[in-house]
Chains A and B, each alone.
Chain A
Amino acid sequence: MTDKVTSVVLVGVGGQGILLASEIVACAAMKAGFDVKTNEVHGMAQRGGSVVAQIRYGRSVNSPLVPEGTAAVLGALEQIEAIRFAHYVSPDGAAVVSSQAIVPVTVSSGQATYPQDVKQRLTSVFKRLVYLDADKLAAEAGSNRAANVVLLGAMSLTLNLPAEAWHEAIKASVPSKHFETNMRAFELGKKAL
């Protein structure tokens, strides 16, 4: 094992399942035999705020915080959050962004506007971008709540974790009755590229 530490950043809005996605990535890294550290922002997420989860894995990890500009991949369940945290991605890193738009209260109360050109902004910011409708694919898989696992499926292609590790991680992290649906969601995410 090299000394290299792989960093993953997940962003979204409270209620989208970012923390569960973070749990799965951390678990997959553990199953693959790596040291793992994570950081998740608490509390404010339930009150409509942005959620950021950071996962780092390698032979030995020091900082739980991802240094800006070093993430191998940024996964975003809400599209403008991807732009807000774009500087976390390394120059040759990738962004996997769901086209979901959640309007913040600053917009709904008339104080700000939600940009109309998000896709163009994303393409100009990220050299490697996967832009997908995670919610639609989740519905195809059989559950509206599995958009986070669809995103992980797409992200998994940019990370060096074996398929078996992902499989076991999902099994360990979701209720057994939802396992098949979540595996379908994961596979649909992989195919979305």
Chain B
Amino acid sequence: MQLLSGNAAIARGAYEAGVRVATGYPGTPSTEILENLVAYKDSVYCEWAPNEKVAFEVAAGAALAGARSIVTMKHVGLNVAADPLMTLAYLGTVGGMVIVVADDPGMHSSQNEQDTRQFARFAKIPVFEPSDSQEAKDLMRVALEVSERYCTPVILRTTTRVSHSRSLVKMGERVTDLKPVKFEKDPPRFVPIPVWGRVMRVKLEERLGKLQEAASKSPANRIEWHDRNLGIVTSSIAYQYVREVFPEASVLKLGWAYPFPDALIREFAKGVQRVLVVEELESILEEHLLAMGIACEGRKFVPGIGELSPMRLAEAKAKMEGRSWQPPTPPPQAADLPGRPPVLCPGCPHRGVFYALTKFDVVVTGDIGCYSLGVFKPLSRIDTTLCMGAGVSMAHGMDKAGEGRKVVGVVGDSTFFHSGITGLLDIVFNRGKSTIIVLDNRTTAMTGHQDNPGTGRTLMGEATTAVSIEALGRACGIKRVRTVNPYDLVQTAKAIKEELEADEPSLIISVAPCILKEKKPVGPKRRVNTDACRECGMCLRLGCPAVEGTKGAPPKIQEMLCAGCGMCEQNCKFKAISPVTEKGL
């Protein structure tokens, strides 16, 4: 038995079930699946694709050729892959294909908390939901078998608390009897032009009926009979909380919730007095039970906003029983504690660009990555974030709408490859004038330093072409393309000023590697000369965690934290900050 995270277990499950091709795009809380799976690279081809749509299409190609494949992403990634998802349901698969989607109830690290089960229903494909790591491994195998038997793509849906919790898992061996890989030509099956697409549409409904019967009999779903007064219908991590808070209740645990296993649901409902539905986010199960004519309660007591937890469910139980009860909260002594939000690291190159932007009265359309942290004081230089790539296109939109100030779009390198290029094309094609800044730290940082088309290395560890953002910009038709060193605050501000004044679109590429990835300082550590310091506070305006301000005293630079980037020294007009020499200041 090994203590594995849900993600590690999903990877192990894919390996044991004979997956041959695994693709994805990094996204918390899904990222570790591929990072674990690549340990089996002798048996499984693993790749990071530029975005989830491409990743999905690659996996689909592999599956149609007969290989078992998976694609991994976070919930918003499925929005990007939705186009191929919806029509692959019509084509069906040959080799099994599982789409692993990690939801984030409570938005620990996401812009929204959408419920991926809606997509399963929308696309008319099965969805499996593990509630711990052993199930995550087991359901991967079941999902692939169902996918192959019924020729349908399948979603395996996890959440933050399943993906990033660890529990005991029994290991197994990799299956050896795999389908041969050879695409069988059959246009009426694989080309959904209307005449054939309409036939696929009818087959899709028939398949749904067969899947519904199979779900009612599948070991992924089970009834746990206990006290018959209360029966709880639940799935995913919520099942674990139900077992904690309602140990005496009967439970219908749905590991395969769609197509809804109606026969099993009816059997359960008949055997209990009162039915409670406990599900996170959307009321998918509750609404279906009501549509079936089964009286039940759910959202009346169980919150649908944010994630559930044992205590939130205990609060719901108290409500059901007519008691007023609140879970323990932080003590009054915690009320005025300073917050500890995540921040740009000491020495982060992005700080230089954001600080340079503070010199200008601009609107900044931002994007998703470490640089999103530029929204916090004292930099306060991100005004909007929407989705991957929106930093580029929204700048153009505000400009065309007639916004009086200049609008600057800011995206990272990985985000640019993901969906910034098409926005840049739009600006050129539709005669825009926007200034776009690509923060190229040569990695996909926030999710844990994954490779991307610009890094020159694949997930499998092989050297490869490093795509040039500069060349891409020129190829899109941008004439004003320039690179800046973000550690040179004056040069960076000058470059931004020139490009803002230009009457045509500009691409500024800030080039400096991620300091956390490099693991070595940019230059010598800095120190404040307390005699020369006038306490003007300019160095504090950078928001660097290593520079500690104290009221009525000179700031102090934390030696342990200082990365030697020198931005504070550049900002000091009184030459009170200088490098620590070997002898010490």
Contacts and interface: CB of A to CB of B under 8 A. Distances in A.
Interface of A: 13, 26-27, 30, 35-44, 46-50, 61-65, 67-69, 80-81, 83-88, 103-115, 121, 124-125
Given A42-B164, A47-B370, A67 B447 contact: no
Tell me which of A30, A42, A121 has the highest count of chain B C-beta atoms within 10 A of its own C-beta: A42
A107 B338 contact: yes
Contact of B540 (A43, A46, A65, A110): A110
Contacts of A113: 338
Interface in B318-361: 327-331, 333-334, 336-345
Interface in B159-177: 161, 164-168
B3 interface: yes
Contacts of B384: none
A121 B164 CA distance: 32
Interface in B99-142: 108-109, 132
Contacts of A49: 340-342
Nearest to A108: B548
B29 A42 contact: yes
A50 B340 contact: yes
B560 to A, nearest CB: 9
Contacts of B377: 109, 111
Nearest to A30: B3
A109 B345 contact: no
Contacts of A40: 164, 166
B338 A80 contact: yes
B388 interface: no
B189 interface: no
Contact of A105 (B1, B243, B244, B543): B543
B247 to A, nearest CB: 9
Tell me which of A49, A88, A105, A112 has the highest count of chain B C-beta atoms within 10 A of its own C-beta: A105
A103 B548 contact: yes
A67 B3 contact: no
B318 to A, nearest CB: 13
5 contacts: A48-B342, A64-B166, A80-B338, A104-B338, A108-B549
A64 to B, nearest CB: 4
Contacts of B337: 80, 83-84, 115
B310 A67 contact: yes
Interface residues of B, number: 54
A104 B549 contact: no
Tell me which of B310, B345, B448 has the highest count of chain A C-beta atoms within 10 A of its own C-beta: B310
A38 B338 contact: no
A84 B334 contact: yes
B314 interface: yes
Task: Tell me the dominant secondary structure on chain B's binding face.
Answer: loop
A42 B310 contact: no
A47 B334 contact: no
Interface of B: 1, 3, 28-29, 108-109, 132, 161, 164-168, 240-241, 243-244, 309-311, 314, 327-331, 333-334, 336-345, 370, 373, 377-378, 446-448, 516, 537, 540, 543, 545, 547-549, 551
B446 A87 contact: no
Given A38-B3, A64-B166, A103-B548, A43 B338 contact: no
Contact of A106 (B29, B340, B447, B551): B340
B448 A109 contact: no
A84 B543 CA distance: 24
A80 B108 CA distance: 22
B343 A105 contact: yes
B166 A37 contact: yes
A64 B338 contact: no
A34 B1 CA distance: 12
Contact of A36 (B168, B327, B344, B540): B168
A47 B3 contact: no
Contacts of A81: 340
B95 to A, nearest CB: 32
Nearest to B162: A64
Contacts of B168: 30, 35-36
B328 A69 contact: yes
Given A62-B240, A86-B331, A87-B330, A37 B378 contact: no
A86 B331 CA distance: 7
Given A65-B310, A81-B340, A104-B340, 15 more contacts: A26-B166, A35-B168, A37-B167, A39-B166, A41-B108, A42-B29, A43-B446, A46-B345, A68-B329, A69-B328, A80-B337, A114-B338, A115-B337, A121-B333, A125-B333
Given A105-B543, A108-B547, A63 B244 contact: yes
Contacts of A104: 338-341, 545
Contact of A67 (B311, B329, B338, B373): B311
B485 to A, nearest CB: 23
B28 A42 contact: yes
Contact of B516 (A39, A46, A110): A46
Nearest to A67: B310
B343 A48 contact: yes
A139 to B, nearest CB: 15
A47 B445 CA distance: 11
Contacts of B327: 67-69
B540 A109 contact: yes
Contacts of B516: 46
Given A35-B168, A114-B338, A62 B548 contact: no
A103 B544 CA distance: 12
Contacts of B448: 43
Contacts of B314: 67
A109 B543 contact: yes
A26 B5 CA distance: 13
A39 B446 CA distance: 20
Contacts of B166: 26, 36-40, 64
B108 to A, nearest CB: 7
Contacts of B338: 80, 104, 106-107, 111-114
B240 A106 contact: no
Closest 8 CB pairs of A and B: A64-B165, A112-B338, A47-B342, A108-B548, A69-B328, A67-B310, A87-B328, A44-B342
A43 B551 CA distance: 32
A174 to B, nearest CB: 16
A58 to B, nearest CB: 11
